[in-house]
Amino acid sequence: MKMVWAIIRPERLKEVTDTLKDAGFPSLTEFSVRGRGKQKGIVIGGMKYEKLPKELLTLVCRDEDVEKILDIIVKTGRTGNIGDGKVFVLNVEDAITIRTGQRGIEAL
């Protein structure tokens, strides 16, 4: 199993999560976060904003679904401007559905 961490623009959140749901990936967790990338923030009207609001999506999926999920996030999340976000993929050891006790991919 893999965990996808996607840090995206808040204004792309609905489109990204709706597209994931329609493609068969409804389960996810979202967090409102603040962060910075390689531009170290942004200057607007003389004010320096060190960290910018982003949305962090986390999804755990089967190995074979990762590329489909990444493709949706990148295509749907992209505006082409700096700050579009970042995606990380991590290995996941195990999962449990609390209600049923199912383990591993059965729990997804």
Ligand X SMILES: Nc1ncnc2c1ncn2[C@@H]1O[C@H](COP(=O)(O)OP(=O)(O)OP(=O)(O)O)[C@@H](O)[C@H]1O
Closest separation between CB of residue 108 and ligand X, Å? 25
Closest separation between CB of residue 8 and ligand X, Å? 8
Q: Which does 72 bind (CB under 5 to 8 A by kind): ligand X, Mg ion, none?
A: none
Q: Which does 86 bind (CB under 5 to 8 A by kind): Mg ion, ligand X, none?
A: ligand X
Q: Which does 102 bind (CB under 5 to 8 A by kind): Mg ion, ligand X, none?
A: none
Q: Work out the number of other CB atoms within 10 angstroms of the CB of residue 55.
A: 21
> What region does 24 belong to: left with phi over 0, alpha with psi -120 to 50, or beta?
left
Q: Exposed, middle or buried: residue 61 (CB in 10 Å: 0-12, 13-18, 19+)?
A: buried
